[in-house]
């Protein structure tokens, strides 16, 4: 399988079955160098199984992949020597404290002692672990242990990092600092394969996102394009200085660009649901002008990646239920 | 540093706590000094082979040293259990190692603990017992072979057991029970030839019998023609159990 020079991962029709159950179904994608590739999907969609295959922990049932130029089936050890993995589940050495645990992890990766010491100090600072650097790992809170797990992975060199829901249990401030650290490492040349359920962080970090559902990739695109293409209809809310206008209501209700029209009795605001706010907003102003009305306020609610994600997954599940999913 | 050295060091540092190692050493010493001295007055000295007659306390002391082999074996299963329970098993398998290197590193760590434990118990107990030895190269090789093969068997046995059993609590209970069976159907506490026929038959399949017999033969310079046969049987059992452990290990679902 040929890879472009800047391609780090190339996956072609990769599948994994567990008996009759298809956990991952012919997924294909590629990841470029210094890219953060997001992998989003509901629980049980096949995200972790895909990571386990790409990190050589699980053999694939069919399909091919190359990771960092090495064949997944025949060059597992070469792949493992160049990657880092932060698993979804906890992983820690229970008999050690934070610092020793990081040191021992560096040792098994053959990082020289002086370099280990330097990196441990740096990582403890970056991940704000000074308070508990001497604490036994068994006594750490879930969030502290998670921080250790992410920090520990940076003790060794790697070209590609797999992060399987790395920020679970972290408070927003620490989460943001972890994401910023990851961004910094990406700027230095690291490539990241990233799964999360927190869509804001996927949007913050990822260059491209693959949405996976029931083992199949439903869509791959940039976060912006996913929002644009699959975001739900937007809500345009506006108020008239004059309060109400039956003519305005009638005109907007019959507009082709408007999918729903209503009025909030409490706030007195009209609410227009549309997939084309860029047409609807000028239309509101044109109507107001024609009807001698004044628009006192108008705003549009932003489409989120979560909207796009929910739409994509819901549509895919409908297609699966109707047997209409493309094979 | 060599990959095995790194993994073995990590296994010993991360998974073995000092308190349990301490009690693993106390356990055989308790047998040696309490049971050994207690029964020494009522059990007459006897021939361990090649015309070598020793007291019961020395007989038991040699048997109790090989108990550390079983303790080392339990450690192998415990190491694997901790790694699985704490997520380090998968983490290490996604590192720059092979599965074979990982399992061998557990066996090597077990060997170090088993052999070092035996030497410590030996070094502590035998001077107190006032025993004198005339060490030979043949005896030293037999002792080393017995400790190596015995630890390998029980380490592999504990690994296989820890793969099959679903919780660490069950592993602790079952392994303790299994090791008591090995212990009381072996020649650690009494010569198997003097036991009832059922225990005699069981002792013939028991690797701890061979470990202990070979160790005693090497230690007391009591080598008989049957010792080389016992060494062969122990080697076959150790290799067979290692193969079973490797197959069991490959079945672990990740």
Say yes or no: A295 contacts chain B, CB-CB below 8 A: no
Q: Which one of A85, A89, A108 has the shortest CB-CB distance to B94?
A: A85
Distance from CA of B58 to the nearest CA of A (A): 37
- How far is the first Cα of chain B from the last one, in angstroms, to the nearest whole number? 28
Residue contact B95–A80, C-beta within 8 A: yes
Mean pLDDT, all residues of chain A = 90
Distance from CA of A76 to the nearest CA of B (A): 9
Distance from CA of A84 to the nearest CA of B (A): 8
Residues of chain B neighbouring A79 (CB-CB closer than 8 A): none
| pLDDT per residue rounded down to tens, chain B (254 residues) | 789 999 999 998 887 777 777 887 788 888 888 888 888 888 888 888 878 888 888 899 889 888 888 888 888 888 888 898 899 999 999 999 888 899 999 989 988 888 888 888 888 888 877 777 777 899 999 999 999 999 999 999 999 998 888 888 888 899 889 988 999 999 998 888 888 888 889 999 999 999 999 999 998 888 888 999 999 999 999 999 999 998 888 888 77
CA distance A113 to B42: 58
Residue contact A108–B92, C-beta within 8 A: yes
Residues of chain B neighbouring A56 (CB-CB closer than 8 A): 94
Q: Where are the domains of chain A?
A: 7-229, 233-300
3-state secondary structure chain A: CCCCCCEEEEEEEEEEEECCEEEEEEEEEEEECCCEEEEECCCCCCHHHHHHHHCCCCCCCEEEEEECCEECCCCHHHHHCCEEEECCCCCCCCCCEHHHHHHHHHHHCCCCHHHHHHHHHHHHHHCCCHHHCCCEHHHCCHHHHHHHHHHHHCCCCCCEEEEECCCCCCCHHHHHHHHHHHHHHHHCCCEEEEECCCHHHHHHHCCEEEEEECCEEEEEECHHHHHHHHCCCEEEEEEECCECCHHHHHHHHCCCCEEEEEECCCCCCEEEEECCHHHHHHHHHHHHHHCCCCEEEEEECCCCHHHHHHHHHHHHHHHHHCCCCCC
Residue contact B86–A94, C-beta within 8 A: yes
Distance from CA of B100 to the nearest CA of A (A): 12
Q: Is B215 exposed, middle or buried (0-12, 13-18, 19+ CB in 10 A)?
A: buried
Distance from CA of B162 to the nearest CA of A (A): 18
- Residue B149: phi, psi to the nearest 5? -70, -40
Residues of chain A neighbouring B93 (CB-CB closer than 8 A): 57
Distance from CA of B93 to the nearest CA of A (A): 7
Q: Which tokens belong to B209?
A: 């019998």
Q: What is the pLDDT of residue A3?
A: 60
Which fold does the domain A233-300 belong to in CATH? Alpha-Beta Plaits (3.30.70)
Q: What is the pLDDT of residue A5?
A: 62
Contact residues, A window 50-89, toward B, CB-based 8 Å cutoff: 52, 55-58, 77, 80-81, 83, 85, 87, 89
Contact residues, A window 216-255, toward B, CB-based 8 Å cutoff: none
| pLDDT per residue rounded down to tens, chain A (327 residues) | 656 668 999 999 999 999 999 999 999 999 999 999 999 999 999 999 999 999 999 999 999 999 999 999 999 999 999 999 999 999 999 889 999 999 999 999 999 999 999 999 999 999 999 999 999 999 999 999 999 999 999 999 999 999 999 998 888 889 999 999 999 999 999 999 999 888 889 999 999 999 999 999 999 999 988 887 777 667 788 999 888 888 889 998 888 877 778 888 888 889 887 778 888 899 999 999 999 999 999 988 766 787 778 778 877 887 888 776 655
Q: Which one of B15, B98, B254 has the shortest CB-CB distance to A95?
A: B15
Looking at the DSSP bridge assignments, the partners of residue A240 are A243, A295
Longest dimension (CA), chain B: 59
CA distance B181 to A119: 50
Q: What is the pLDDT of residue A2?
A: 56
Residue contact A104–B13, C-beta within 8 A: yes
Q: What is the pLDDT of residue A71?
A: 96
Say yes or no: A204 contacts chain B, CB-CB below 8 A: no
- Residue A74: phi, psi to the nearest 5? -110, -15
Q: Which residues of B touch A (CB under 8 A)?
A: 1, 3, 6-7, 9-10, 13-17, 82, 86-88, 90-98, 254
Q: Which one of A83, A93, A109 has the shortest CB-CB distance to B88?
A: A93
CA distance A246 to A288: 12
Residue contact A83–B94, C-beta within 8 A: yes
Q: Is there a contact between B212 and B186 (Cβ–Cβ < 8 Å)?
A: yes
* A-B contacts at Cβ under 8 angstroms: 73
Which fold does the domain A7-229 belong to in CATH? Rossmann fold (3.40.50)
Residues of chain A neighbouring B91 (CB-CB closer than 8 A): 85, 87, 91
Residue contact B87–A58, C-beta within 8 A: no
Distance from CA of B129 to the nearest CA of A (A): 36
Q: What is the pLDDT of residue B36?
A: 85
Q: Which among B244, B243, B246 has a CA at the least distance from the CA of B99?
A: B246
Residues of chain A neighbouring B15 (CB-CB closer than 8 A): 93-95
Q: Which among A73, A56, A67 has a CA at the least distance from the CA of A31?
A: A67
Which residue of chain B has the CA closest to A95? B14
DSSP-assigned letter for residue B54: E
Say yes or no: A91 contacts chain B, CB-CB below 8 A: yes
Residues of chain B neighbouring A95 (CB-CB closer than 8 A): 13-17
Residue contact B93–A81, C-beta within 8 A: no
Say yes or no: A93 contacts chain B, CB-CB below 8 A: yes
Q: Are strands A36-40 and A191-195 parallel, antiparallel or unpaired?
A: parallel
Q: Is there a contact between A196 and A169 (Cβ–Cβ < 8 Å)?
A: no
Q: Which among B200, B68, B49, B72 has a CA at the least distance from the CA of B139?
A: B49
Summarize pLDDT for A251-260 with one digit per residue, the tens: 988 888 777 7
Distance from CA of A212 to the nearest CA of B (A): 21
CA distance A16 to A60: 5
Q: What is the pLDDT of residue B196?
A: 87
What number of other Cβ atoms are within 10 A of residue A47's Cβ?
A: 23
Q: What is the pLDDT of residue A326?
A: 54
Q: Which tokens belong to A36?
A: 């953060």
């Amino acid at each position: 399988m040929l890879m472009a020079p800047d391609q780090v991962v190339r996956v072609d029709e990769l599948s994994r079955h567990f008996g009759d159950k298809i956990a991952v179904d012919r997924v294909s994608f590629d990841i470029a160098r210094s890219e953060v590739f997001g992998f989003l999907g509901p629980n049980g969609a096949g995200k972790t199984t895909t990571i386990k295959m790409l990190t050589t922990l699980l053999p694939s049932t069919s399909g091919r992949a190359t990771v960092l130029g090495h064949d997944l089936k025949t060059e597992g050890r070469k792949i493992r020597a160049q990657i880092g993995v932060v698993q979804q589940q906890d992983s820690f050495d229970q008999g050690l404290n934070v610092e020793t645990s990081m040191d021992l992890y560096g040792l098994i990766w053959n990082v020289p002692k002086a370099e280990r010491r330097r990196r441990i100090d740096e990582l403890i600072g970056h991940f704000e672990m000074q308070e508990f650097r001497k604490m036994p790992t068994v006594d750490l809170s879930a969030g502290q242990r998670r921080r250790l797990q992410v920090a520990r992975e940076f003790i060794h060199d790697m070209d590609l990092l797999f992060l399987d829901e790395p920020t679970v249990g972290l408070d927003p401030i620490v989460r943001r600092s972890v994401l910023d650290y990851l961004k910094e490492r990406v700027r230095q040349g690291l490539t990241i394969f990233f799964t999360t359920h927190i869509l804001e962080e996927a949007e913050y970090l990822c260059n491209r996102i693959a949405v996976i559902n029931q083992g199949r990739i439903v869509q791959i695109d940039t976060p912006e394009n996913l929002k644009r293409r699959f975001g739900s209809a937007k809500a345009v809310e506006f108020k008239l200085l004059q309060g109400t206008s039956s003519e305005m209501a009638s005109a907007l209700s019959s507009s082709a660009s408007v999918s729903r029209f209503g009025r909030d009795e409490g706030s007195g605001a009209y609410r227009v649901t549309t997939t084309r706010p860029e047409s609807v907003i000028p239309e509101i102003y044109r109507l107001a002008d024609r009807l001698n009305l004044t628009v006192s306020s108008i705003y549009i609610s932003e489409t989120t990646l979560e909207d796009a994600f929910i739409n994509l997954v819901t549509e895919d599940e409908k297609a699966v239920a109707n047997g209409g999913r493309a094979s | 540093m060599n990959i095995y050295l790194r993994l073995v060091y990590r296994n010993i540092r991360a998974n073995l706590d000092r308190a349990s190692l301490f009690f693993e050493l106390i356990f055989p010493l308790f047998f040696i000094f309490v049971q050994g001295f207690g029964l020494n007055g009522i059990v007459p000295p006897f021939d361990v082979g090649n015309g070598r007659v020793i007291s019961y306390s020395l007989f038991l002391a040699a048997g109790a040293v090989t108990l550390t082999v079983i303790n080392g074996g339990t450690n192998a299963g415990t190491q694997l259990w901790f790694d699985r329970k704490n997520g380090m098993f998968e983490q290490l398998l996604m590192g720059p190692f092979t599965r074979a290197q990982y399992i061998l590193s557990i066996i090597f760590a077990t060997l170090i603990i088993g052999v070092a434990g035996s030497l410590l118990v030996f070094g502590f107990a035998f001077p107190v017992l006032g025993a004198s030895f005339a060490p030979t190269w043949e005896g030293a090789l037999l002792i080393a072979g017995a400790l190596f093969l015995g630890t390998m068997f029980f380490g592999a046995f504990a690994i296989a057991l820890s793969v099959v059993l679903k919780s660490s609590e069950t592993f602790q209970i079952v392994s303790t029970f299994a090791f008591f069976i090995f212990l009381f159907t072996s020649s650690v506490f009494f010569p198997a030839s003097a036991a009832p026929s059922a225990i005699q038959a069981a002792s013939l399949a028991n690797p701890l019998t061979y470990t202990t017999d070979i160790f005693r033969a090497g230690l007391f310079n009591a080598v008989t023609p049957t010792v080389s046969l016992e060494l062969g049987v122990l080697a076959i059992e150790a290799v067979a159990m290692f193969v079973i452990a490797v197959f069991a290990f490959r079945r672990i679902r990740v």
